[in-house]
């Protein structure tokens, strides 16, 4: 039996995640409340979700900030745990959370949780794109906010601590899935760059594109160790390098328009 002094609501936001949602939800069997917010799945996601919880809701908005805010507002427990549909909670992370619930200071309102990518049956501690490897995911009820930025960033007032055990994360089944996502992310990153930095003649130069891509390659293959993590690590490193090239190539294209 698990003893804990506080309760946890897990919130999972879905959209056509039939290939991964079962693992995500089954890994959350220990929470006190499980909520699924769906944005319009047509692939069987809803049927799978309803096998795990009665609290499955449809949300028509494609605005990430609105959906996250409304989903977290549904949580009734002391703590709210935001989990993506292609993630899962490893057993050691569950035990760490259980221990945390026994002794959390009143001024501590959030926990940052690490994520580790699993691709082609190998764990690779290299983030995709510009995503951080650690994210605020576990927050105290009524102490959180969702930002209006591109990522709809979750924040809290008060102190934040870090958990050590990671969430598993496996968004890609194939190399094609990986590079399709990199292409999508590079478009978002290009618009974000222009929104933050505006247009400049520097961004229109071929030299800048080459330098940015070379620096990204050095960072991914050497500094982050992709070169030394087998074909899987090298594939992730190459995907991120290509993503940087596409980002600045799209910045050039959008600037010229």
Same domain, 187 and 129: no
What pLDDT is stored for residue 76 in this prediction?
Answer: 97
What is the DSSP code string of 176-226?
Answer: HHHHHHHHHHHHHHHHHHHHHH---SGGG-HHHHHHHHHHHHHIIIIIS-G
Which tokens belong to 196?
């933050």
Same domain, 97 and 209: no
What pLDDT is stored for residue 5 in this prediction?
Answer: 74
Which domain, by its residues, includes 115? Answer: 8-169
Same domain, 146 and 234: no
Q: Which of 147, 169, 191 is the last residue of a domain?
A: 169
What pLDDT is stored for residue 4 in this prediction?
Answer: 59
Of all helices (H) and strands (E), which one includes residue 85?
A: none
Residue pLDDT, tens place only, 131-158:
778 999 999 999 999 999 888 999 999 9
- The residue ranges of the chain whose pLDDT is under 50 are 1-3
What pLDDT is stored for residue 1 in this prediction?
Answer: 42
- pTM of structure: 0.88
Q: Cβ atoms within 10 A of the Cβ of 191, count?
A: 14
């Amino acid at each position: 039996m698990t003893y804990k002094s506080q309760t946890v609501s897990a919130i999972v936001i879905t959209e056509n995640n039939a290939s991964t949602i079962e693992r995500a939800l089954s890994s959350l069997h220990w929470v006190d409340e499980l909520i699924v917010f769906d944005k319009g799945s047509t692939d069987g996601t809803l049927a799978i979700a309803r096998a795990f919880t009665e609290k499955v809701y449809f949300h028509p908005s494609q605005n990430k900030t609105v959906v996250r805010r409304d989903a977290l507002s549904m949580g009734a427990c002391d703590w709210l745990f935001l989990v993506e549909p292609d993630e899962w909670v490893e057993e050691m992370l569950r035990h760490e959370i259980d221990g945390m619930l026994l002794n959390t200071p009143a001024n501590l309102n959030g926990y940052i949780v690490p994520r580790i990518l699993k691709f082609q049956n190998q764990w690779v501690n290299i983030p995709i794109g510009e995503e951080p490897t650690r994210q605020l995911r576990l927050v105290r009820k009524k102490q959180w906010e969702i930002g209006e930025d591109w990522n709809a960033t979750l924040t809290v007032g008060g102190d934040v601590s870090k958990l050590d055990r990671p969430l598993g994360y496996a968004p890609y089944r194939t190399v094609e899935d990986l590079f399709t996502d990199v292409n999508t992310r590079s478009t978002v990153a290009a618009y974000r760059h222009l929104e933050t930095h505006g247009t400049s003649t520097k961004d229109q130069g071929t030299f800048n594109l080459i330098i940015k891509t070379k620096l990204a390659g050095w960072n991914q293959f050497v500094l982050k160790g992709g070169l030394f993590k087998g074909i899987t690590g090298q594939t992730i490193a190459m995907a991120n390098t290509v993503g940087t090239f596409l980002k600045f190539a799209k910045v050039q294209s959008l600037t010229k328009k």
